Amino acid sequence: MNWKRMLATISGSVDQELLLRNEYLVTENRILKNQIKGRLQLTDPERISLAEIGLRLGRKALKEVAQIVRPETILG
């Protein structure tokens, strides 16, 4: 096996693991959100952290993963 093919195989495995981790975390967050009654009160540092990551992630992907805030709110 040449090095390019081996690198592609390793990259594919890493990408698949990251996708599975993300899917797990999204599902876990959805379950936790459903158990919380009422509205969450975020601190300014928490809002800033979510906004920084949300901007890098982009609106489309954020809509898929955001559970405790609306994308339009956090990106506003």
pLDDT above 80 (res 14): no
Burial class (CB in 10 A: 0-12, 13-18, 19+), 3: exposed
- How does residue 6 score in pLDDT terms, banded at 50, 70 and 90? low
Q: 42 or 6: whose pLDDT is higher?
A: 42
What pLDDT sits at residue 55? 92
The residue ranges of every structural domain in the chain are 1-38, 40-76
pLDDT above 70 (res 10): no
Structure confidence by residue, pLDDT tens digits, 28-66: 988 988 898 888 888 999 999 999 999 998 988 888 888
Write the CB contacts of 33 (distance below 8 Å, at least 6 apart in sequence). 67, 68
pTM of the model: 0.65
